[in-house]
Chains A and B, each alone.
Chain A
Amino acid sequence: MKILIADDDAISRRLVQKTLERGGYQVLAVENGRSAAECLSSADGPRLALLDWVMPELDGLGVCRQIRSRSNHPYIYIILLTSKESKEDMVAGFEAGANDYLTKPCDPEELKARLRAGQQILELQDKLIQDARTDPLTQLPNRTFFQEQLVRCVERTKRRPDYKFAVLFVDIDRFKVVNDSLGHLAGDQLIVQIAKRLVSSVRREDLVSCSVDVMAPVRRSGEDTLARMGGDEFTILIEDIRDASDGIRVAERIQQKLEPPFWITGQEVFITASVGIAVSAKGYAAAEDILRDADTAMYRAKALGKSRYEICDPAMHARAVSRLKLETDLRRAMDRKEFRVHYQPIVSLRDCRIIGFEALVRWQRPDFGLVMPGEFIPVAEETGLILSMGGWVLREACRQTRAWHLQFPSDPAFTVAVNISGKQFAQPDLVSQVRHILREACLDPHYLKLELTETVTMRDVERTARILGELKTLGVRLSMDDFGTGYSSLSYLRSFPLDTLKIDRSFVSEMENSSESRAIVQMIMSLGRNLGMEMVAEGVETAKQVSLLKSLGCDYAQGYSFSKPIDQERVMEVLLKSSGSAYRLPQQSLVELVPKLG
C-alpha cells in the first residue's frame, strides 16, 4: 500500500521511510505541506499519510483541513507525527481532521501497528462504500451508483455539446408471475441469471465494466454501466453514442440474449423484457429527467404489447404528463361531482317509440369541457376508480329512470341500460350492490338492463353463469354489448341467461357498403332470435341503415340517426313534446333531429 510521509526533518523522514519500506509499504516522502497536499490530491495518490505538524509553506494541520474539505475523493487516513506533545495540541490535531496522533520519536513497532489499524479502517470504509453502491443480489452497481454516473454524464453534455449518451430502462415482463408461481427464491435466481445475460448484452468491444471501483470512481468515457434499480428493473447507461440507433442496438441485443429459456429450480422459464430508451440529444438539465423519460418509454413498450423497445420523444413525455394530470383530475372528479350521465334513447324500429335509454357517463372536466368516456374510462379501469364511478352511474341511472317512470308513465315503462366494467363484474358483492341500489331508487329490477361485453363474460365462464343467474333471479335484465367484436363461445352464450344482444356499431356502419357485414348482422340476428333474445343495433347513423335493419327484422336501435346521448334535461324536453302514453322521437327525418336534440 502507498503511504505519504511529509516532514521537513530529513532524519525523521529517512528513519520513518526506512521503517515503513521494511514493513512492505510503498513510501512517498516530501518535505513540506504543499507538496503533501498535491500528492494526496492526485487520482492514484496514497490513502495513508504521516504528516509532521510544523512544516514550511503549509503545516500538517493545514494539509488535514484541505484534505477533509474535499468531496468526491477517496478517504485518506491521516496520522500526525509530531514533537508537539501537549493534550491541547493533540485535540487541535484531531479537530483538524487527523485520524491518529503520534509523538516523535516514535517506536517503529507502534508506528506499524497504528498504520495497520488505519488500513483496516480504510478497508472497512471501502467495503461500506462498495456495499452502498452495489446491488447485493447481482453484484451489479445499484441505483445510487447509476445516478451518480448519470449526473456526471448530464454535466458532461453541458460542457461538450457533441457528447451524447443513452439510458435504457429494462423491465422484465411477467416477472411477477414467475415470483408468484415459483417463489421468491426462484425469482432471485432468475434475476441473477438475467443480470448475467444483460452483462453480456452491454459488452462493447469485449469490454464489460459493470464492477464498482471505489478507488477510482471517475470512469473512463466509452464504458457502459449496467445497474439493477431494484425488483426486475435494470438500467443501462451507454456513453459516447452517435444517435439513438446505438441504444436500439443494445436493446435488440438484450432481447436476443433473453430469448433462450432459463433453468430455474429444474424448470424451464421463458421471459422477455420491455425496454425504454432515452437519448441525451434533446438536452437534459437533470439526471432524473432522462431516467424518467426512459422509464416512460419502457411503460409505453409494455402498453404496446411488451417484449419490445420504445424510444422516448418529447411528444411521449407530453403524453405522459397529460396522462398523469388526467389521473389526478379523475381521482378528484368524484368528490367534485364532475361526472354526468347522458342518456341515448333506444327506439323501436317498428314505430320509433322510445323503449328505454342507455346511460353513458361523461366527465365535465374543468378547463377541458365535456370529456368522452373513451378518454378516461381506460384510466379509471387501471386505477380502480371505475368501481366508485360505475357504482355512481348505476345509482344515478336508476334514480333518474324511476323519476321518469313517475313523470312519464308508459306501457311498458322505459328501461335503462347501464354498462358494467370488467372490474365491477369481478366484485364479489356485485349482486348485493345492484339489489341495494335498486331498492334505494325504488326501481323495479325488470327495468334495469346490465350490459356486459363478451370479453368480460368469457373471462371465467362458470362464475359468469352463476352471477348472471343471480342477477336474473333478482329480476334484472341482461344484455351482451358490442356483440361480434370479442371472443364468444356460442355454447356458453346459450347457457348465459341473456335477454338482449347488441350488434356492434362496426358491423352496422359497414352494412351499406359491405355484403359481408350485412351477412354478419343477419347471422347475429338469426342467432339471437333462435336463443330468444331481443336485438338492438348500435351506432345507427343513416336512414339507409335504419331501413336495412328493419328489413332484416331488427327490433331496436340506437345511434345518431335517432339521437346522440343527451343530458336528462333534454330527455325531458323530448318526452314532454311527445304525446299520449307512447313516447316517440319526432317522425320527421330523424337524422335532421340530431342537432336539435344534441
Chain B
Amino acid sequence: MIQPDDDSSDLSVDLPELLTRVDADRKLLRELLGIFKREFPCILQSLQEAVVRGDMKKVEVTAHTIKGMLANVSFRRAAASAVRLERMGQQRNTQGRQEELASLEQMASLALAELEGFCTEMIR
C-alpha cells in the first residue's frame, strides 16, 4: 500500500519490490516500461488539465489511476505524491495542487530515468 508520506527510499524506484512483482522476468520489465512510456503521458496530461481547471473531482479520479500505475512499477515517491493529489481531489482542496503536480511530474521523471537506466544496464 502506498502512503502519502512514503519518501523513505533514496531511489525513486523500489527495484527489489518491482523485480519480485515481475518474478525477475526482465523481458516483462522492459515490456512494462514500454507500456508506461506509452500510457503515462496521456493520463498525466489529463491530470494536468484537471489541475489547471481546478476540477478536483477529475483530479481525484485521474490521480487515482496514476497512483495505481506508479505503484505497479514501484515508483514509490511519485505514487505517494499521486496519493496526496487524490486526497486533495477527494477533499475538493485546491490549495497547493499545482505544486503537488509539479512534484509528481519531477519524481515520476526521475523514477523513469532510474528504471530506464536499470533496463539499459540489464541489456549490457
Chain A residues proximal to chain B, CB less than 8 Å: 8-12, 14-15, 18-19, 22, 52, 54, 82-85, 103-105, 107-108
Q: How far is the CB of B69 from the nearest CB of chain A, in Å? A: 5
Q: List A contacts of B1 (CB < 8 A).
A: 85, 103
Binary A-proximity of B24-50 (CB < 8 A = 1, otherwise 0): 010010011001101100000000000
Contact between A12 and B69 (Cβ–Cβ < 8 Å)? Answer: yes
Closest-CB distance, A288 to chain B (whole angstroms): 54
B12 within 8 A of A: no
Point out residues on B near A: beta carbons under 8 Å: 1, 20-23, 25, 28, 31-32, 35-36, 38-39, 61, 64-65, 67-69, 71-74
- Bound Cα distance A107, B74 (Å): 12
- How many angstroms from the CA of A19 to the CA of B35 in the assembled complex? 17
Closest-by-CB residue of A relative to B73 is: A11
Whole-angstrom CA separation of A527 from B36 in the bound complex: 115
Please provide the 8 A-B residue pairs with the shortest distance between their CB atoms, ordered closest to farther.
A83-B68, A105-B71, A105-B72, A11-B72, A104-B68, A10-B35, A12-B72, A9-B68
Nearest CB in chain A: distance from B112 CB, A: 13
A103 — which chain B residues lie within 8 A by C-beta?
1
Chain A contacts for B68, CB-based, 8 A = 9, 12, 52, 82-83, 104-105
B71 to chain A: which residues have CB within 8 Å?
A: 83, 104-105
16 A–B contacts from the bound complex (CB under 8 Å): A9-B39, A9-B68, A11-B35, A11-B72, A14-B28, A14-B31, A15-B21, A18-B25, A18-B28, A54-B61, A54-B65, A83-B64, A83-B68, A84-B64, A104-B72, A105-B68
Majority secondary structure of chain B interface residues (helix, strand, loop or mixed): helix
Smallest beta-carbon distance A304→chain B, Å: 74
A15→B32 contact, CB < 8 A:
yes
B108 to chain A, nearest CB (A): 13
Q: Separation in Å of the B48 CB from the closest CB of chain A? A: 18
Q: A14-B28, A104-B72 are in contact. List 17 more A-B contacts (CB 8 A).
A: A9-B65, A10-B39, A11-B35, A11-B36, A11-B72, A12-B68, A12-B69, A15-B21, A15-B22, A82-B68, A84-B64, A103-B1, A104-B68, A104-B71, A105-B68, A107-B21, A108-B23
Do B32 and A14 touch across chains, with their CB atoms under 8 A apart? yes
Chain A nearest Cβ from B89, distance in angstroms = 12
Q: Contact between A8 and B25 (Cβ–Cβ < 8 Å)?
A: no
Contact partners of B21 in chain A: CB under 8 A? 15, 105, 107-108
B73 pairs with A19, CB closer than 8 A: no
When chains A and B are docked, how far (Å) is the Cα of A181 from the Cα of B62?
A: 79
Which B-chain residue is minimally distant from A19 (CB atoms)? B23
A104–B73 alpha-carbon span in the complex (Å): 11
CA distance in complex: A107, B23 (Å): 10
Judging by beta carbons under 8 Å apart, are B32 and A11 in contact?
yes
Q: Tell me the complex Cα distance, A204–B31, Å.
A: 54
The answer to whether A15 touches B61 (Cβ under 8 A) is no
Give the distance in Å from the alpha carbon of A96 to the alpha carbon of B36 in the complex.
Answer: 31
Cα distance A85–B87 in the bound complex, in angstroms: 12
- Give the one of B28, B64, B68 with max A CB within 10 A: B68
Given contacts A18-B28, A54-B61, A83-B68, contact A11 B39 (CB under 8 A): yes
State A104–B67 Cα separation when bound (angstroms): 9
Closest to B25 in A: A18
Smallest CB separation, B116 vs chain A (Å): 15
Chain A positions within 8 Å of B36 at CB level = 11
Chain B residue numbers with a CB within 8 Å of A14 are 28, 31-32, 35
A357 to B120, CA, bound (A): 122
Residues of B within 8 A of A8 (CB): 65
Taking CB as reference atom, which chain B residue is nearest A104?
Answer: B68
Tell me, in angstroms, the Cα distance from A10 to B43 when the chains sit together. 12
A524 to B4, CA, bound (A): 115
Bound-state Cα–Cα, A14 to B33, Å:
11
Q: Tell me the smallest distance from the CB of B38 to a CB of chain A, in Å.
A: 8
Give chain A residues whose Cβ lies under 8 Å from the Cβ of B28: 14-15, 18
> Distance in Å from the Cβ of B59 to the closest Cβ of chain A?
14
Task: Please name all residues of chain A whose beta carbon is closer than 8 Å to the beta carbon of B64 when the two chains form the complex.
Answer: 54, 83-84
Q: A14 CA to B27 CA in the complex, in Å?
A: 12
A11 to B32, CA, bound (A): 6
Give the interface centre of A10, A22, A52, A108 by most chain B CB atoms within 10 Å: A10
CA distance A11 to B23 in the complex (A): 15
Report the separation of the CA atoms of residues A142 and B56 in the bound assembly, to the nearest whole angstrom.
Answer: 59
Query: Whole-angstrom distance between the alpha carbons of A15 and B35 in the complex?
Result: 11
> Bound complex: CA of A107 vs CA of B19, how far in Å?
11
Q: Which residues does chain A contribute within 8 Å of B39, judged by CB atoms?
A: 9-11
One of A11, A52, A83 near B67 (C-beta < 8 A): A83
Residues of A within 8 A of B25 (CB): 18
Closest CB-CB distance, A184 to chain B, in whole Å? 58
Contact B72 A15 (CB under 8 A): yes
- Which single residue of chain A is at the shortest CB-CB distance from B28? A18
Residues of A within 8 A of B31 (CB): 14
Considering only CB atoms, which chain B residue lies closest to A85 in the complex?
B1
Task: A391 to B26: give the CA distance in the assembly, Å.
Answer: 98
Interchain CA distance A54-B89 in the complex, whole Å: 15
A598 and B91 alpha carbons, distance in the complex (Å): 103
Q: In the complex, how many angstroms separate the beta carbon of A81 from the nearest chain B beta carbon?
A: 10
B residues in contact with A105, CB < 8 Å: 21, 68, 71-72, 74
Chain A residues whose C-beta falls within 8 Å of the C-beta of B73 in the assembled complex: 11
| Chain B residue at minimum C-beta to C-beta distance from A106 | B21
CA distance A22 to B28 in the complex (A): 12
The docked-state distance in angstroms from the alpha carbon of A15 to that of B73 is 10
Residues of A within 8 A of B72 (CB): 9, 11-12, 15, 104-105
Contacts of A12 in B (CB 8 A): 68-69, 72
Chain A residue contacts of B74, Cβ below 8 A: 105
List chain B residues, Cβ under 8 A from A9.
39, 65, 68-69, 72
Q: Nearest chain B CB to A182's CB is how many angstroms away? A: 63
Give bound CA distance, A54 to B20, whole Å. Answer: 26
Closest Cβ neighbor of B68 among chain A residues? A83
| Complexed CA–CA distance, A11 and B1 (Å) | 17
CB distance from B53 to the nearest CB of A (A): 20
CB nearest neighbor in A for B67: A83
A11 vs B31: C-alpha distance when bound (angstroms)? 9
Q: How far is the CB of A164 from chain B (nearest CB, A)?
A: 57
- CB nearest neighbor in A for B74: A105
Bound state CA distance, A105 and B13, in angstroms? Answer: 14
Distance in angstroms from B83 CB to nearest chain A CB is: 9
CB <8 Å contact, A11 and B69: yes
B61 nearest in chain A by CB position: A54
Question: Which residues on the B side are within 8 Å of A15 (C-beta)?
Answer: 21-22, 28, 32, 72
Task: Quote the shortest CB–CB distance from B35 to chain A (angstroms).
Answer: 5
